[in-house]
Structure 1
Amino acid sequence: MGAADFCAKPIDLKVLKIILSRTFKIHKLEEENRQQQCRNYEKGKFCGMIGTSPIMQEIFRQFIHAGKTDYPVLLSGNTGTGKEIAARAIHSLSSRSEKSFITINCGAIPENLLESELFGHEKGSFTGATKRKIGKFEQADHGTIFLDEIGELPHTLQVKLLRVLQEGTIDRVGGNETIKLDIRIIAATNRNLEEETEKNRFREDLFYRLNVVPIHLPDLTKRPEDILLLAQDCLARESEKLQRRASFTPKALAALTAHPWPGNVRELQNRIKRALGSTQDKVITLTDLGFQQIDGKEENQTLSTLKQARDSAEYSAVCKALALSNNNISRAAKLLEISRPTLHDLIKKHGVATGKYNKT
């Protein structure tokens, strides 16, 4: 559980009584918070996630069970399904909830810098290492580390991660000291790691070490009854930030329900934010959301702005590059003549579901 306080020697019984009382109150509040979250999932809201559909209710129950253990969790699902929010939910339901929650995207950091980001380095260990750096694993000690896009982790670092899972130790780059850590690992991927292991792209032993508690997050189209609930919640939250009131037209609501949502929840939120940013009207229309037609008729005839045209071109180029590269981020970035981090930014910006595209 970890230390909540300390008592110096010689022990003062009055001070000890105060410390014990305070510790019991902390644990009581933590337990009450977990129980409240458990009750909330029946109302459709759970640790920052929303869903009344049967599939999401079951996932919320899986989060509760995962929070009661310290086992590694492997979250799977396409881009935009909410894997990081899910990881935070599991952390908040665990005994580590008051400790650090550290995140790192394994695919967004250049390969030559990733080892140092994860494990840290000693001064002088390589050119530019002017001082010691504490890596993400050490920052997460006694807490939880979330490894997003774990399928992008290079083979050399897969070996080092396997050691963390097996022995609970790390070595900083250029260091001689073995550091013992107490961390919980939650990883996420939009790939099928079982297929990756069969193709020798991902270590089989690492996959089984991570896949102790597997949880799959469904595409938005798999839970259509949640779409309007998510849309209304997002609109209410964003409108409050902007200190204004807004609502959807009936046609906009119909379009939200009918759209296939390749970018899932992230795309839904992105469209609503862009709509609020592009109009001061109190009513969000079909075209505000970027939908041109419904039932063969346009709700409004509007000229695309230069930004809208550029966004459309970026989206199409990213989708085509991912299709041609069979979802390989490095190859897609080379095709587009941009860096991997820039490609990840574009994928996130446009809500591109990388798992949806296949080589043709």
Structure 2
Amino acid sequence: MSKILVIEDEAAIRRVLKKILTEESKDYIVEEAEDGLEAMEKIKEEDYDLVLCDIKMPKMDGVEVLQATKKIKPEIPIVMISGHGDLETAVDTMKMGAFDYISKPPDLNRLLNTVRIALDRKELVTENKRLKKKVVKNYQMIGESKEINHIKEMIEKVAPTEARVLITGENGTGKELVAHWLHQKSERSKGPMIEVNCAAIPSELIESELFGHVKGAFTSANKDRAGKFEAANGGTIFLDEVGDMSLPAQAKVLRALQENKIQRVGSDKDIKVNVRVIAATNKDLKNEIEEKNFREDLYHRLAVILIQVPKLNDRRDDIPLLVEYFTKKVAEEQGTQEKEFSKDALKLLKEYDWTGNIRELRNVIERLIILGGSKIEQKDVELFASK
């Protein structure tokens, strides 16, 4: 449901706007305010997804409402409603942060189109904020070892640039985490980060997934569909397990990187895209090139910067910090109390052969929190961390 506030001093216009919006969609909840002062009280108390605001009103005009709202709830899109004599002011309000303006009497199609676009933008802004909070919470780089500090230094240097990055390392080492840090610390952080697991998508569907398709391109293509490259426009696309991508898809990715253009499957129309590509793989791509499974020219396009993520066995000094982090995280997720690890338990965890890397450590900690005693001892680790 989308909550819309209509601010208009003329009751007849308020009623018309409310009628148009509620008839357009049952998902629109429309509230009214007859002047700016009443509107500001509502805006302070309620969370609106969109505000339609007249410019000329008694007590507090639309420009003042716009300025006041931007100070307390800047995320709300505000569409100004202008009379013929207010057009210049309406244009000025765009510079102040208004989403758009509509002239009186409102053109029905323009009104509804503007409302839809504004609500979509609000939803995107809200989703981006939610995802960023999730990223900050779930993608923390834990550790102070020489190996992990080197990764952090690389990220600080590389993230602000437009350089493509190839992240390599075993499964479970944290390649996805590095990719998220690169995006969040980049100039593109306000744009989307679109992830594609190349290993999880069947080879016959990977091109459609990456580049989209047009209606009729294949049997199940019953409508046009944008691909991941279009979705990532203005942001970052993360090609995880890029070594598993089919050769035909590799050729199209190479073209996208060379020309900043893509073509949807079944179309010969070029679509411009502006994306930063970060790729990751657990494979030895140079060996894959020799085996004719990976294009050498694509490798050199992707591997402008190489970041090798170390195995957990190569950064054992970070294990106590990781144990502390996962203990808090698992306890929070499970709704249980945190548990203390004895020195002997931590010593044993540091000596363990972590073939599954950080992902395996996380699973072991969760197992210990759920099945271990009130304090995790060496015997618990011996029992529940065994392969």
Write the distance in 1 (CA, Å) between the matches of 2:269 and 2:78.
Answer: 28
CA apart distance, 1:97? 0.4
Candidates 113, 126, 134, aligned match of 2:218: 126
Q: Which ranges in structure 2 are unaligned for 5 or more consecutive residues?
A: 1-74, 81-86, 99-136
Is 1:249 paired with 2:372?
no
Candidates 290, 295, 313, aligned match of 1:221: 313
Partner residue of 2:253?
161
CA apart distance, 1:272? 1.0
Secondary structure of 1:111's counterpart equals coil
Task: State the one-letter code of the partner of 2:317.
Answer: E
Contact 1:76–1:217 (8 Å) recurs in 2? yes
Secondary structure of 1:49's counterpart equals coil
Q: Which ranges in structure 1 are unaligned for 5 or more consecutive residues?
A: 21-44, 295-307, 313-360
Contact 1:7–1:16 (8 Å) recurs in 2? no
**Which runs of structure 2 are paired with 1:133-148 in the superposition (5 Å)?**
133-148=225-240
CA apart distance, 1:16? 6.7
CA apart distance, 1:139? 0.9
Contact 1:7–1:15 (8 Å) recurs in 2? no
Contact 1:79–1:263 (8 Å) recurs in 2? yes
Is 1:97 paired with 2:189?
yes
Q: Which has the larger radius of gyration?
A: 2
RMSD (Å), alpha carbons: 2.9
Write the distance in 1 (CA, Å) between the matches of 2:187 and 2:236.
Answer: 10
CA apart distance, 1:273? 1.6
Is 1:86 paired with 2:163?
no
Secondary structure of 1:71's counterpart equals coil
CA apart distance, 1:66? 1.2
Task: State the one-letter code of the partner of 2:327.
Answer: L
Write the distance in 1 (CA, Å) between the matches of 2:260 and 2:379.
Answer: 53
Is 1:276 paired with 2:373?
no
CA apart distance, 1:225? 0.9
CA apart distance, 1:243? 3.9
**Which runs of structure 2 are paired with 1:148-297 in the superposition (5 Å)?**
148-241=240-333, 242-279=335-372, 281-286=373-378, 288-289=380-381, 291-292=382-383
Moved beyond 3 Å, runs of 4+: 4-20, 285-289, 291-294
CA apart distance, 1:122? 1.3
Contact 1:96–1:143 (8 Å) recurs in 2? yes
Contact 2:367–2:384 (8 Å) recurs in 1? no
Secondary structure of 1:129's counterpart equals coil
Secondary structure of 2:183's counterpart equals helix
Write the distance in 2 (CA, Å) between the matches of 1:273 and 1:101.
Answer: 29
Secondary structure of 1:75's counterpart equals strand
CA apart distance, 1:14? 6.1
Contact 1:221–1:261 (8 Å) recurs in 2? yes
CA apart distance, 1:93? 0.4
Partner residue of 1:28?
none
**Which runs of structure 2 are paired with 1:320-335 in the superposition (5 Å)?**
none
Task: State the one-letter code of the partner of 2:359.
Answer: R
Contact 1:68–1:95 (8 Å) recurs in 2? yes
Percent identical among aligned pairs is 40
The count of residues paired between Structure 1 and Structure 2 equals: 267
Write the distance in 1 (CA, Å) between the matches of 2:266 and 2:384.
Answer: 59
Contact 2:213–2:225 (8 Å) recurs in 1? yes
User: In proportion to residue count, which structure has more strand?
Assistant: 2
- Give the TM-score taking structure 2 as reference length: 0.63
- Give the TM-score taking structure 1 as reference length: 0.68
Contact 1:115–1:157 (8 Å) recurs in 2? yes
Write the distance in 2 (CA, Å) between the matches of 1:156 and 1:13.
Answer: 49
Secondary structure of 1:131's counterpart equals coil
Partner residue of 1:59?
151
Partner residue of 1:348?
none
Is 1:69 paired with 2:69?
no
